[in-house]
Structure 1
Protein backbone atom coordinates (compact mmCIF):
# COMPACT_ATOMS: atom_id res chain seq x y z
CA UNK A 1 0.00 0.00 0.00
CA UNK A 2 1.29 3.46 -0.94
CA UNK A 3 2.12 5.90 1.87
CA UNK A 4 -0.42 8.44 0.58
CA UNK A 5 -3.27 5.96 0.12
CA UNK A 6 -6.23 6.64 2.44
CA UNK A 7 -6.72 4.32 5.41
CA UNK A 8 -9.17 4.25 8.29
CA UNK A 9 -8.68 6.12 11.55
CA UNK A 10 -8.40 2.86 13.51
CA UNK A 11 -5.86 1.42 11.08
CA UNK A 12 -3.56 4.41 11.44
CA UNK A 13 -2.86 4.44 15.18
CA UNK A 14 -1.43 7.42 17.08
CA UNK A 15 -0.96 10.89 15.59
CA UNK A 16 1.88 13.00 17.02
CA UNK A 17 1.20 16.40 15.38
CA UNK A 18 -1.77 18.78 15.52
CA UNK A 19 -3.20 21.97 14.04
CA UNK A 20 -4.13 25.20 15.80
CA UNK A 21 -6.30 27.77 14.04
CA UNK A 22 -6.11 31.46 14.92
CA UNK A 23 -9.39 33.28 14.23
CA UNK A 24 -8.73 36.54 16.09
CA UNK A 25 -6.49 39.41 14.90
CA UNK A 26 -5.35 39.90 18.51
CA UNK A 27 -3.00 36.89 18.52
CA UNK A 28 -0.09 36.19 16.19
CA UNK A 29 1.49 32.86 15.32
CA UNK A 30 4.73 34.06 16.92
CA UNK A 31 2.93 34.75 20.20
CA UNK A 32 1.04 31.48 20.10
CA UNK A 33 3.73 28.97 19.20
CA UNK A 34 5.65 29.02 22.53
CA UNK A 35 2.40 28.32 24.37
CA UNK A 36 1.53 25.33 22.19
CA UNK A 37 4.93 23.64 22.10
CA UNK A 38 5.35 21.29 25.04
CA UNK A 39 8.31 22.20 27.31
CA UNK A 40 9.81 18.74 26.84
CA UNK A 41 9.58 18.82 23.04
CA UNK A 42 12.86 18.84 21.12
CA UNK A 43 11.46 21.22 18.49
CA UNK A 44 8.20 22.84 17.39
CA UNK A 45 7.57 20.60 14.39
CA UNK A 46 4.51 18.99 16.00
CA UNK A 47 2.52 22.25 15.99
CA UNK A 48 1.00 23.53 12.77
CA UNK A 49 -0.55 27.01 13.05
CA UNK A 50 -2.94 28.44 10.48
CA UNK A 51 -4.58 31.88 10.47
CA UNK A 52 -8.26 32.15 9.56
CA UNK A 53 -9.47 35.50 10.88
CA UNK A 54 -13.21 35.59 11.46
CA UNK A 55 -13.85 31.91 10.77
CA UNK A 56 -16.17 30.04 13.12
CA UNK A 57 -15.38 26.69 14.73
CA UNK A 58 -18.03 25.07 12.55
CA UNK A 59 -16.41 26.43 9.40
CA UNK A 60 -13.03 25.19 10.60
CA UNK A 61 -14.43 21.71 11.13
CA UNK A 62 -15.17 21.44 7.42
CA UNK A 63 -11.80 22.99 6.54
CA UNK A 64 -10.02 20.52 8.81
CA UNK A 65 -11.81 17.55 7.29
CA UNK A 66 -10.98 18.75 3.78
CA UNK A 67 -7.28 19.36 4.46
CA UNK A 68 -6.39 16.55 6.86
CA UNK A 69 -6.80 13.21 5.10
CA UNK A 70 -5.84 10.01 6.90
CA UNK A 71 -3.06 8.22 5.05
CA UNK A 72 -0.46 5.73 6.18
CA UNK A 73 2.21 8.43 6.58
CA UNK A 74 0.00 11.28 7.85
CA UNK A 75 1.03 12.76 11.19
CA UNK A 76 -1.48 15.55 11.89
CA UNK A 77 -4.43 14.46 13.98
CA UNK A 78 -7.55 14.39 11.77
CA UNK A 79 -10.08 14.59 14.63
CA UNK A 80 -8.51 16.92 17.20
CA UNK A 81 -7.50 20.55 16.83
CA UNK A 82 -7.34 23.83 18.74
CA UNK A 83 -9.09 27.10 17.94
CA UNK A 84 -7.66 30.37 19.27
CA UNK A 85 -10.43 32.97 19.16
CA UNK A 86 -9.34 35.35 21.94
CA UNK A 87 -6.15 36.82 23.34
CA UNK A 88 -7.21 35.81 26.87
CA UNK A 89 -5.39 32.50 26.67
CA UNK A 90 -5.37 31.81 30.41
CA UNK A 91 -8.94 32.52 31.55
CA UNK A 92 -11.26 32.34 28.55
CA UNK A 93 -8.66 30.06 27.04
CA UNK A 94 -8.84 28.14 23.77
CA UNK A 95 -11.24 25.70 22.20
CA UNK A 96 -10.26 22.03 21.95
CA UNK A 97 -12.38 20.48 19.20
CA UNK A 98 -13.00 16.75 18.78
CA UNK A 99 -14.68 15.31 15.69
CA UNK A 100 -16.88 12.20 15.48
CA UNK A 101 -16.82 11.49 19.18
CA UNK A 102 -18.14 8.44 21.06
CA UNK A 103 -21.61 9.97 21.47
CA UNK A 104 -22.00 10.46 17.72
CA UNK A 105 -21.42 14.23 17.44
CA UNK A 106 -18.62 16.74 17.01
CA UNK A 107 -17.84 18.28 20.38
CA UNK A 108 -15.58 20.81 22.11
CA UNK A 109 -14.35 21.92 25.51
CA UNK A 110 -12.71 25.15 26.59
CA UNK A 111 -9.91 26.05 28.99
CA UNK A 112 -6.41 27.51 29.52
CA UNK A 113 -4.15 27.00 26.54
CA UNK A 114 -1.53 24.81 28.21
CA UNK A 115 -4.23 22.59 29.74
CA UNK A 116 -5.92 22.02 26.39
CA UNK A 117 -2.59 21.47 24.65
CA UNK A 118 -1.69 18.76 27.14
CA UNK A 119 -5.18 17.29 26.92
CA UNK A 120 -4.95 17.06 23.14
CA UNK A 121 -1.60 15.29 23.40
CA UNK A 122 -2.96 12.86 25.97
CA UNK A 123 -5.99 12.11 23.82
CA UNK A 124 -3.73 11.62 20.78
CA UNK A 125 -1.91 8.71 22.40
CA UNK A 126 -5.02 7.33 24.12
CA UNK A 127 -3.82 8.15 27.61
CA UNK A 128 -7.14 9.89 28.10
CA UNK A 129 -10.58 9.75 26.49
CA UNK A 130 -13.19 12.32 25.53
CA UNK A 131 -15.61 11.17 28.23
CA UNK A 132 -13.02 12.27 30.80
CA UNK A 133 -12.14 15.43 28.89
CA UNK A 134 -15.77 16.59 29.14
CA UNK A 135 -15.91 16.35 32.92
CA UNK A 136 -16.24 19.53 34.99
CA UNK A 137 -13.79 20.18 37.84
CA UNK A 138 -13.47 22.71 40.63
CA UNK A 139 -10.44 24.19 38.85
CA UNK A 140 -12.43 25.17 35.76
CA UNK A 141 -12.59 28.89 35.15
CA UNK A 142 -16.05 30.49 34.80
CA UNK A 143 -14.93 32.31 31.65
CA UNK A 144 -14.39 28.91 30.00
CA UNK A 145 -16.94 26.59 31.60
CA UNK A 146 -20.56 27.63 32.31
CA UNK A 147 -20.98 25.91 35.66
CA UNK A 148 -24.65 26.08 36.66
CA UNK A 149 -24.83 29.15 34.47
CA UNK A 150 -28.07 28.49 32.61
CA UNK A 151 -31.58 28.64 34.06
CA UNK A 152 -34.04 25.87 33.21
CA UNK A 153 -37.58 27.01 33.88
CA UNK A 154 -40.06 24.43 35.08
CA UNK A 155 -43.46 25.06 33.48
CA UNK A 156 -44.78 21.56 34.22
CA UNK A 157 -47.31 20.64 36.89
CA UNK A 158 -45.78 17.15 37.17
CA UNK A 159 -42.61 17.54 39.26
CA UNK A 160 -41.46 13.98 38.61
CA UNK A 161 -41.67 14.50 34.86
CA UNK A 162 -39.68 17.72 35.18
CA UNK A 163 -37.00 16.07 37.34
CA UNK A 164 -36.52 13.37 34.71
CA UNK A 165 -36.27 15.93 31.90
CA UNK A 166 -33.95 18.14 33.94
CA UNK A 167 -31.55 15.27 34.66
CA UNK A 168 -31.47 14.38 30.98
CA UNK A 169 -30.70 17.98 30.07
CA UNK A 170 -27.87 18.22 32.60
CA UNK A 171 -26.32 14.96 31.43
CA UNK A 172 -26.36 16.07 27.82
CA UNK A 173 -24.33 13.70 25.65
CA UNK A 174 -22.02 12.52 28.43
CA UNK A 175 -23.58 9.11 28.98
CA UNK A 176 -24.68 8.41 25.40
CA UNK A 177 -23.15 5.16 24.11
CA UNK A 178 -21.28 4.67 27.39
CA UNK A 179 -21.32 1.17 28.86
CA UNK A 180 -21.33 0.85 32.61
CA UNK A 181 -18.67 -1.86 32.74
CA UNK A 182 -18.46 -1.75 36.53
CA UNK A 183 -22.17 -2.46 36.90
CA UNK A 184 -21.98 -5.17 34.25
CA UNK A 185 -19.18 -6.88 36.17
CA UNK A 186 -21.11 -6.59 39.43
CA UNK A 187 -24.19 -8.14 37.84
CA UNK A 188 -22.14 -11.03 36.50
CA UNK A 189 -20.53 -11.59 39.89
CA UNK A 190 -23.87 -11.46 41.68
CA UNK A 191 -25.36 -13.88 39.19
CA UNK A 192 -22.52 -16.37 39.58
CA UNK A 193 -22.66 -16.18 43.38
CA UNK A 194 -26.39 -16.81 43.39
CA UNK A 195 -26.11 -19.90 41.19
CA UNK A 196 -23.31 -21.48 43.18
CA UNK A 197 -24.26 -20.57 46.74
CA UNK A 198 -28.03 -20.22 46.73
CA UNK A 199 -28.76 -23.15 49.01
CA UNK A 200 -26.03 -22.24 51.45
CA UNK A 201 -27.44 -18.71 51.74
CA UNK A 202 -30.82 -20.10 52.73
CA UNK A 203 -29.28 -22.22 55.53
CA UNK A 204 -27.34 -19.25 56.87
CA UNK A 205 -30.44 -17.06 56.98
CA UNK A 206 -32.39 -19.70 58.89
CA UNK A 207 -29.70 -20.02 61.53
CA UNK A 208 -29.17 -16.27 61.98
CA UNK A 209 -32.32 -15.40 63.91
CA UNK A 210 -30.44 -13.84 66.86
CA UNK A 211 -30.21 -10.36 65.41
CA UNK A 212 -27.91 -11.03 62.47
CA UNK A 213 -30.53 -9.83 60.02
CA UNK A 214 -31.02 -6.63 62.01
CA UNK A 215 -27.30 -5.93 61.93
CA UNK A 216 -27.24 -6.51 58.18
CA UNK A 217 -30.23 -4.18 57.70
CA UNK A 218 -28.50 -1.48 59.77
CA UNK A 219 -25.43 -1.69 57.52
CA UNK A 220 -27.63 -1.37 54.42
CA UNK A 221 -29.40 1.66 55.89
CA UNK A 222 -26.06 3.31 56.65
CA UNK A 223 -24.89 2.67 53.10
CA UNK A 224 -28.12 4.15 51.70
CA UNK A 225 -27.72 7.25 53.86
CA UNK A 226 -24.13 7.70 52.67
CA UNK A 227 -25.24 7.38 49.05
CA UNK A 228 -28.01 9.95 49.60
CA UNK A 229 -25.47 12.35 51.14
CA UNK A 230 -23.15 11.90 48.16
CA UNK A 231 -26.03 12.60 45.77
CA UNK A 232 -26.92 15.76 47.70
CA UNK A 233 -23.31 16.92 47.57
CA UNK A 234 -23.21 16.12 43.85
CA UNK A 235 -26.34 18.20 43.26
CA UNK A 236 -24.81 21.16 45.08
CA UNK A 237 -21.39 20.78 43.43
CA UNK A 238 -19.98 22.29 40.24
CA UNK A 239 -20.88 19.35 38.06
CA UNK A 240 -23.76 20.68 35.97
CA UNK A 241 -24.48 23.45 33.51
CA UNK A 242 -28.07 24.10 34.53
CA UNK A 243 -30.05 25.17 37.59
CA UNK A 244 -33.78 24.61 37.81
CA UNK A 245 -36.30 27.29 38.75
CA UNK A 246 -40.07 27.09 39.03
CA UNK A 247 -41.67 30.54 38.67
CA UNK A 248 -44.82 31.38 40.57
CA UNK A 249 -46.52 32.58 37.39
CA UNK A 250 -46.35 29.63 35.00
CA UNK A 251 -46.41 31.48 31.68
CA UNK A 252 -43.86 32.01 28.94
CA UNK A 253 -44.48 35.75 28.88
CA UNK A 254 -43.69 36.01 32.59
CA UNK A 255 -40.47 34.05 32.16
CA UNK A 256 -39.33 36.35 29.35
CA UNK A 257 -40.24 39.49 31.28
CA UNK A 258 -38.51 38.50 34.52
CA UNK A 259 -35.55 36.45 33.31
CA UNK A 260 -32.92 39.16 32.89
CA UNK A 261 -33.31 40.60 36.40
CA UNK A 262 -33.44 37.20 38.04
CA UNK A 263 -30.43 35.85 36.11
CA UNK A 264 -28.36 38.95 36.81
CA UNK A 265 -29.06 38.68 40.54
CA UNK A 266 -27.93 35.04 40.54
CA UNK A 267 -24.88 35.47 38.28
CA UNK A 268 -26.44 33.43 35.48
CA UNK A 269 -26.79 33.98 31.75
CA UNK A 270 -29.10 37.00 31.29
CA UNK A 271 -29.67 36.37 27.59
CA UNK A 272 -30.29 32.64 27.11
CA UNK A 273 -32.20 29.96 29.00
CA UNK A 274 -34.14 26.71 28.55
CA UNK A 275 -37.73 25.78 29.32
CA UNK A 276 -39.32 22.43 30.09
CA UNK A 277 -43.04 22.76 29.34
CA UNK A 278 -46.08 20.83 28.15
CA UNK A 279 -44.62 20.51 24.63
CA UNK A 280 -41.36 18.96 25.87
CA UNK A 281 -42.35 15.33 25.26
CA UNK A 282 -43.46 15.88 21.68
CA UNK A 283 -41.23 18.76 20.56
CA UNK A 284 -38.27 18.86 22.94
CA UNK A 285 -36.65 21.50 25.13
CA UNK A 286 -37.46 25.12 24.33
CA UNK A 287 -34.19 27.05 24.00
CA UNK A 288 -34.72 30.79 24.17
CA UNK A 289 -32.78 34.00 23.71
CA UNK A 290 -34.13 37.38 24.83
CA UNK A 291 -31.17 39.50 23.69
CA UNK A 292 -29.77 40.88 21.40
CA UNK A 293 -33.13 40.03 19.82
CA UNK A 294 -35.77 37.56 20.93
CA UNK A 295 -35.58 34.17 19.26
CA UNK A 296 -36.17 30.52 20.12
CA UNK A 297 -36.14 26.98 18.81
CA UNK A 298 -36.79 23.50 20.16
CA UNK A 299 -34.38 20.60 20.38
CA UNK A 300 -35.17 16.97 21.17
CA UNK A 301 -32.99 14.29 22.71
CA UNK A 302 -29.81 14.25 24.78
CA UNK A 303 -28.06 16.75 22.52
CA UNK A 304 -30.43 19.49 23.72
CA UNK A 305 -28.36 19.68 26.90
CA UNK A 306 -25.29 20.71 24.91
CA UNK A 307 -26.68 23.57 22.83
CA UNK A 308 -26.31 26.46 25.30
CA UNK A 309 -22.89 25.23 26.41
CA UNK A 310 -21.69 25.04 22.81
CA UNK A 311 -22.87 28.60 22.19
CA UNK A 312 -21.23 29.82 25.40
CA UNK A 313 -17.82 28.34 24.55
CA UNK A 314 -18.07 29.66 20.95
CA UNK A 315 -18.25 26.23 19.37
CA UNK A 316 -21.43 27.39 17.63
CA UNK A 317 -23.13 30.70 17.06
CA UNK A 318 -26.84 31.04 17.80
CA UNK A 319 -27.65 30.83 14.08
CA UNK A 320 -25.38 27.82 13.60
CA UNK A 321 -27.08 26.09 16.54
CA UNK A 322 -30.52 26.73 15.01
CA UNK A 323 -29.39 25.29 11.69
CA UNK A 324 -27.78 22.30 13.42
CA UNK A 325 -30.98 21.49 15.32
CA UNK A 326 -33.10 21.95 12.20
CA UNK A 327 -31.03 19.28 10.47
CA UNK A 328 -31.53 16.93 13.42
CA UNK A 329 -35.27 17.47 13.63
Structure 2
Protein backbone atom coordinates (compact mmCIF):
# COMPACT_ATOMS: atom_id res chain seq x y z
CA UNK A 1 0.00 0.00 0.00
CA UNK A 2 1.32 3.44 -0.95
CA UNK A 3 0.71 6.20 1.58
CA UNK A 4 1.77 9.77 0.92
CA UNK A 5 2.91 12.46 3.34
CA UNK A 6 3.56 16.15 2.84
CA UNK A 7 6.74 17.31 4.59
CA UNK A 8 7.97 20.79 5.44
CA UNK A 9 11.34 21.82 6.85
CA UNK A 10 11.92 24.64 9.33
CA UNK A 11 13.95 25.88 12.26
CA UNK A 12 13.39 27.27 15.75
CA UNK A 13 13.87 31.01 16.19
CA UNK A 14 15.10 30.62 19.77
CA UNK A 15 17.38 27.60 19.45
CA UNK A 16 19.35 25.59 16.94
CA UNK A 17 16.63 22.96 16.59
CA UNK A 18 15.67 21.81 13.10
CA UNK A 19 12.29 20.30 12.33
CA UNK A 20 10.62 18.27 9.61
CA UNK A 21 6.82 18.37 9.79
CA UNK A 22 5.05 15.33 8.32
CA UNK A 23 1.34 15.21 7.57
CA UNK A 24 -0.28 12.16 6.04
CA UNK A 25 -2.48 13.26 3.17
CA UNK A 26 -6.05 12.47 4.08
CA UNK A 27 -5.59 13.23 7.79
CA UNK A 28 -5.35 16.38 9.90
CA UNK A 29 -2.49 15.20 12.14
CA UNK A 30 1.00 16.65 11.75
CA UNK A 31 3.95 14.70 13.14
CA UNK A 32 7.07 16.42 14.41
CA UNK A 33 10.38 14.83 13.37
CA UNK A 34 13.97 15.97 13.56
CA UNK A 35 16.48 15.82 10.70
CA UNK A 36 19.84 14.34 11.64
CA UNK A 37 21.55 17.08 9.62
CA UNK A 38 20.60 20.61 8.72
CA UNK A 39 19.00 20.92 5.29
CA UNK A 40 18.45 24.66 5.07
CA UNK A 41 18.49 26.49 1.72
CA UNK A 42 17.58 23.40 -0.28
CA UNK A 43 14.52 22.68 -2.41
CA UNK A 44 12.13 19.91 -1.46
CA UNK A 45 12.10 16.47 -3.07
CA UNK A 46 10.74 12.96 -2.57
CA UNK A 47 11.66 10.81 0.41
CA UNK A 48 10.48 7.82 2.41
CA UNK A 49 9.56 7.35 6.06
CA UNK A 50 13.19 7.16 7.12
CA UNK A 51 14.80 9.75 4.85
CA UNK A 52 13.90 13.18 3.60
CA UNK A 53 15.53 14.24 0.34
CA UNK A 54 16.31 17.75 -0.86
CA UNK A 55 17.59 19.17 -4.14
CA UNK A 56 20.25 21.82 -4.25
CA UNK A 57 19.10 24.86 -6.19
CA UNK A 58 22.35 25.35 -8.11
CA UNK A 59 23.33 21.87 -9.32
CA UNK A 60 22.15 18.30 -9.80
CA UNK A 61 23.17 16.99 -6.38
CA UNK A 62 20.43 15.53 -4.19
CA UNK A 63 21.02 15.79 -0.44
CA UNK A 64 19.38 13.45 2.06
CA UNK A 65 19.12 13.32 5.82
CA UNK A 66 17.70 10.68 8.13
CA UNK A 67 14.63 11.53 10.19
CA UNK A 68 14.75 11.11 13.97
CA UNK A 69 11.88 10.90 16.43
CA UNK A 70 13.73 12.91 19.06
CA UNK A 71 16.02 15.89 18.69
CA UNK A 72 19.80 15.52 18.82
CA UNK A 73 21.88 17.59 21.21
CA UNK A 74 23.69 19.34 19.71
CA UNK A 75 21.57 19.27 16.54
CA UNK A 76 23.04 18.15 13.27
CA UNK A 77 25.31 15.39 14.53
CA UNK A 78 25.64 13.69 11.16
CA UNK A 79 26.59 14.90 7.74
CA UNK A 80 24.29 15.24 4.80
CA UNK A 81 24.22 12.12 2.64
CA UNK A 82 24.48 12.58 -1.11
CA UNK A 83 23.04 10.35 -3.78
CA UNK A 84 25.64 9.57 -6.40
CA UNK A 85 28.26 12.27 -6.59
CA UNK A 86 28.11 15.99 -6.01
CA UNK A 87 27.75 17.83 -9.30
CA UNK A 88 28.27 21.36 -10.55
CA UNK A 89 26.11 20.83 -13.61
CA UNK A 90 23.28 23.32 -14.14
CA UNK A 91 20.88 20.50 -14.96
CA UNK A 92 17.96 18.92 -13.14
CA UNK A 93 17.73 16.04 -10.70
CA UNK A 94 14.91 13.84 -9.46
CA UNK A 95 14.62 10.83 -7.17
CA UNK A 96 11.90 8.19 -6.76
CA UNK A 97 11.67 5.98 -3.63
CA UNK A 98 11.33 2.21 -3.95
CA UNK A 99 9.68 -0.07 -1.40
CA UNK A 100 12.99 -1.77 -0.48
CA UNK A 101 14.66 1.45 0.71
CA UNK A 102 16.49 2.20 -2.53
CA UNK A 103 15.93 5.24 -4.72
CA UNK A 104 16.01 5.64 -8.49
CA UNK A 105 18.08 8.76 -9.16
CA UNK A 106 18.35 10.81 -12.33
CA UNK A 107 20.99 13.48 -11.82
CA UNK A 108 22.07 15.48 -14.84
CA UNK A 109 23.26 12.95 -17.42
CA UNK A 110 23.54 10.02 -14.98
CA UNK A 111 21.09 7.44 -13.63
CA UNK A 112 21.68 5.54 -10.36
CA UNK A 113 19.78 3.10 -8.15
CA UNK A 114 21.06 3.18 -4.58
CA UNK A 115 20.36 3.81 -0.91
CA UNK A 116 20.83 7.22 0.70
CA UNK A 117 23.54 6.04 3.08
CA UNK A 118 25.63 4.24 0.46
CA UNK A 119 29.11 5.66 0.72
CA UNK A 120 29.61 5.43 -3.02
CA UNK A 121 27.71 4.34 -6.08
CA UNK A 122 28.15 0.79 -7.32
CA UNK A 123 27.58 1.76 -10.93
CA UNK A 124 25.78 4.36 -12.95
CA UNK A 125 24.38 4.77 -16.43
CA UNK A 126 25.55 7.68 -18.60
CA UNK A 127 23.31 9.35 -21.18
CA UNK A 128 25.24 10.63 -24.18
CA UNK A 129 23.93 13.27 -26.61
CA UNK A 130 21.60 14.63 -23.93
CA UNK A 131 22.10 18.17 -25.29
CA UNK A 132 21.21 17.28 -28.88
CA UNK A 133 18.17 19.24 -29.99
CA UNK A 134 18.24 21.17 -26.72
CA UNK A 135 19.31 20.32 -23.19
CA UNK A 136 17.23 17.44 -21.82
CA UNK A 137 16.39 17.52 -18.10
CA UNK A 138 14.71 14.77 -16.12
CA UNK A 139 11.02 15.50 -15.58
CA UNK A 140 9.43 12.20 -14.48
CA UNK A 141 10.28 8.76 -13.08
CA UNK A 142 7.70 5.97 -12.92
CA UNK A 143 7.77 2.46 -11.46
CA UNK A 144 6.44 -0.03 -13.99
CA UNK A 145 6.71 -3.56 -12.65
CA UNK A 146 10.39 -4.48 -12.38
CA UNK A 147 11.48 -1.45 -14.40
CA UNK A 148 11.70 2.31 -14.01
CA UNK A 149 10.75 4.57 -16.91
CA UNK A 150 12.46 7.96 -16.88
CA UNK A 151 11.37 10.91 -19.03
CA UNK A 152 13.80 13.63 -20.08
CA UNK A 153 12.53 16.81 -21.68
CA UNK A 154 13.75 20.02 -23.24
CA UNK A 155 12.55 23.25 -21.67
CA UNK A 156 10.49 24.12 -24.73
CA UNK A 157 12.25 27.40 -25.48
CA UNK A 158 14.28 25.83 -28.29
CA UNK A 159 12.02 23.04 -29.48
CA UNK A 160 9.85 20.32 -27.95
CA UNK A 161 11.46 16.92 -27.48
CA UNK A 162 10.89 14.32 -24.76
CA UNK A 163 12.75 11.01 -24.49
CA UNK A 164 11.92 7.95 -22.36
CA UNK A 165 14.59 5.67 -20.88
CA UNK A 166 13.76 2.26 -19.38
CA UNK A 167 16.05 0.69 -16.77
CA UNK A 168 15.70 -2.55 -14.79
CA UNK A 169 15.32 -2.39 -11.01
CA UNK A 170 16.97 -5.73 -10.28
CA UNK A 171 20.55 -4.45 -10.66
CA UNK A 172 22.32 -1.08 -10.63
CA UNK A 173 22.27 0.47 -14.12
CA UNK A 174 25.59 0.84 -15.93
CA UNK A 175 27.13 1.62 -19.29
CA UNK A 176 26.15 4.31 -21.79
CA UNK A 177 22.90 4.96 -23.62
CA UNK A 178 22.63 7.35 -26.55
CA UNK A 179 19.74 9.74 -25.86
CA UNK A 180 19.03 9.91 -29.60
CA UNK A 181 18.18 6.19 -29.69
CA UNK A 182 15.40 6.52 -27.10
CA UNK A 183 11.70 6.82 -28.03
CA UNK A 184 10.96 10.46 -28.85
CA UNK A 185 7.78 12.49 -28.34
CA UNK A 186 6.81 16.00 -29.37
CA UNK A 187 3.97 18.39 -28.71
CA UNK A 188 1.62 20.74 -30.51
CA UNK A 189 0.85 22.35 -27.13
CA UNK A 190 2.57 25.63 -26.39
CA UNK A 191 4.53 25.80 -23.16
CA UNK A 192 2.25 26.92 -20.34
CA UNK A 193 4.12 28.75 -17.63
CA UNK A 194 1.23 28.63 -15.20
CA UNK A 195 1.83 26.39 -12.22
CA UNK A 196 1.80 22.67 -12.83
CA UNK A 197 1.78 22.68 -16.62
CA UNK A 198 4.67 22.36 -19.03
CA UNK A 199 4.51 21.51 -22.70
CA UNK A 200 5.16 17.83 -21.87
CA UNK A 201 2.87 17.42 -18.83
CA UNK A 202 0.16 15.56 -20.76
CA UNK A 203 2.74 13.15 -22.15
CA UNK A 204 3.46 11.59 -18.76
CA UNK A 205 0.28 9.50 -18.38
CA UNK A 206 0.33 8.68 -22.10
CA UNK A 207 3.86 7.34 -22.66
CA UNK A 208 5.20 6.00 -19.35
CA UNK A 209 3.05 2.87 -19.41
CA UNK A 210 0.85 1.29 -16.73
CA UNK A 211 2.94 2.56 -13.85
CA UNK A 212 2.25 1.83 -10.21
CA UNK A 213 3.24 5.37 -9.22
CA UNK A 214 5.15 8.24 -10.77
CA UNK A 215 7.01 11.34 -9.56
CA UNK A 216 7.37 14.40 -11.77
CA UNK A 217 8.75 17.93 -11.79
CA UNK A 218 9.21 20.89 -14.11
CA UNK A 219 12.09 21.15 -16.56
CA UNK A 220 12.63 24.91 -16.25
CA UNK A 221 16.13 26.07 -15.44
CA UNK A 222 17.75 29.49 -15.34
CA UNK A 223 21.15 30.16 -16.86
CA UNK A 224 22.62 29.98 -13.35
CA UNK A 225 20.87 26.74 -12.54
CA UNK A 226 18.37 28.29 -10.14
CA UNK A 227 14.70 27.46 -10.38
CA UNK A 228 11.38 27.39 -8.59
CA UNK A 229 10.79 23.66 -8.39
CA UNK A 230 7.27 22.38 -8.96
CA UNK A 231 6.87 18.75 -7.93
CA UNK A 232 4.05 16.23 -7.82
CA UNK A 233 3.26 12.54 -7.97
CA UNK A 234 0.68 10.17 -9.35
CA UNK A 235 -0.25 7.44 -6.89
CA UNK A 236 -2.08 5.00 -9.16
CA UNK A 237 -1.91 3.78 -12.78
CA UNK A 238 -3.00 6.01 -15.68
CA UNK A 239 -6.52 5.62 -16.99
CA UNK A 240 -8.52 6.63 -20.06
CA UNK A 241 -11.16 9.37 -19.90
CA UNK A 242 -12.64 10.08 -23.34
CA UNK A 243 -9.74 11.00 -25.62
CA UNK A 244 -7.34 11.65 -22.76
CA UNK A 245 -4.95 9.49 -20.81
CA UNK A 246 -4.99 10.77 -17.24
CA UNK A 247 -3.11 10.34 -13.98
CA UNK A 248 -4.28 11.40 -10.53
CA UNK A 249 -2.25 12.29 -7.48
CA UNK A 250 -0.90 15.35 -5.70
CA UNK A 251 0.94 18.58 -6.42
CA UNK A 252 2.77 21.12 -4.31
CA UNK A 253 1.32 24.48 -5.33
CA UNK A 254 3.87 27.28 -5.57
CA UNK A 255 2.77 30.86 -4.99
CA UNK A 256 3.55 32.68 -8.24
CA UNK A 257 4.42 35.93 -6.46
CA UNK A 258 6.76 34.59 -3.79
CA UNK A 259 7.88 31.24 -5.21
CA UNK A 260 7.03 29.64 -1.84
CA UNK A 261 5.22 26.36 -1.36
CA UNK A 262 1.87 27.20 0.19
CA UNK A 263 -0.67 24.48 -0.61
CA UNK A 264 -0.83 20.73 -1.07
CA UNK A 265 -3.36 19.87 -3.77
CA UNK A 266 -5.06 16.86 -5.24
CA UNK A 267 -4.55 16.94 -8.99
CA UNK A 268 -5.38 15.20 -12.25
CA UNK A 269 -3.24 15.66 -15.37
CA UNK A 270 -4.48 14.55 -18.78
CA UNK A 271 -3.20 14.47 -22.35
CA UNK A 272 -4.51 13.67 -25.83
CA UNK A 273 -2.04 12.08 -28.24
CA UNK A 274 -1.86 11.76 -32.00
CA UNK A 275 0.94 9.42 -33.00
CA UNK A 276 3.97 10.53 -31.04
CA UNK A 277 2.77 14.06 -30.45
CA UNK A 278 0.78 15.64 -27.62
CA UNK A 279 -2.20 17.52 -29.09
CA UNK A 280 -3.96 18.79 -25.95
CA UNK A 281 -3.60 18.58 -22.18
CA UNK A 282 -5.51 19.42 -19.03
CA UNK A 283 -4.89 20.03 -15.34
CA UNK A 284 -7.50 19.98 -12.59
CA UNK A 285 -6.44 20.56 -9.00
CA UNK A 286 -8.01 21.35 -5.66
CA UNK A 287 -6.17 22.51 -2.50
CA UNK A 288 -6.33 20.09 0.44
CA UNK A 289 -4.37 21.90 3.14
CA UNK A 290 -1.65 24.52 3.50
CA UNK A 291 1.81 24.56 5.03
CA UNK A 292 0.36 26.89 7.68
CA UNK A 293 -2.11 24.15 8.58
CA UNK A 294 0.84 21.83 9.13
CA UNK A 295 2.67 24.36 11.32
CA UNK A 296 -0.33 25.17 13.51
CA UNK A 297 -1.39 21.50 13.69
CA UNK A 298 1.92 20.10 14.94
CA UNK A 299 1.72 19.04 18.59
CA UNK A 300 4.73 20.22 20.56
CA UNK A 301 5.61 23.01 18.12
CA UNK A 302 5.21 26.71 18.96
CA UNK A 303 4.18 28.39 15.68
CA UNK A 304 5.52 31.73 16.92
CA UNK A 305 8.95 30.14 17.40
CA UNK A 306 9.04 28.44 14.02
CA UNK A 307 10.44 29.71 10.72
CA UNK A 308 9.74 27.56 7.68
CA UNK A 309 12.13 27.40 4.77
CA UNK A 310 10.04 28.78 1.93
CA UNK A 311 10.91 26.18 -0.68
CA UNK A 312 11.83 23.24 1.55
CA UNK A 313 8.62 21.31 1.21
CA UNK A 314 8.32 17.85 -0.27
CA UNK A 315 6.40 14.60 -0.58
CA UNK A 316 7.25 11.42 1.27
CA UNK A 317 6.29 7.84 0.44
CA UNK A 318 5.38 5.04 2.83
CA UNK A 319 4.87 1.51 1.57
CA UNK A 320 3.30 0.17 4.76
CA UNK A 321 -0.24 0.40 6.03
CA UNK A 322 -0.38 3.48 8.29
CA UNK A 323 -1.29 2.84 11.94
CA UNK A 324 -4.85 3.56 13.00
CA UNK A 325 -5.03 6.45 15.46
CA UNK A 326 -6.36 5.63 18.91
CA UNK A 327 -10.10 6.21 19.01
CA UNK A 328 -9.85 8.86 21.73
CA UNK A 329 -7.85 11.15 19.42
CA UNK A 330 -10.97 11.73 17.35
CA UNK A 331 -14.13 11.60 19.45
CA UNK A 332 -16.22 13.90 17.31
CA UNK A 333 -19.53 12.27 16.48
CA UNK A 334 -19.01 9.23 18.70
CA UNK A 335 -21.55 7.89 21.15
CA UNK A 336 -21.06 5.43 23.95
CA UNK A 337 -23.74 2.75 24.13
CA UNK A 338 -24.17 0.89 27.43
TM > 0.5 fold call: no
- Name whichever structure is richer in helix by fraction: 1
Q: Computing the radius of gyration over CA atoms, which structure comes out larger, 1 or 2?
A: 1
TM-score by length of 1: 0.29
Query: TM-score scaled by structure 2?
Result: 0.29
Structure (1 or 2) with the greater strand fraction? 2
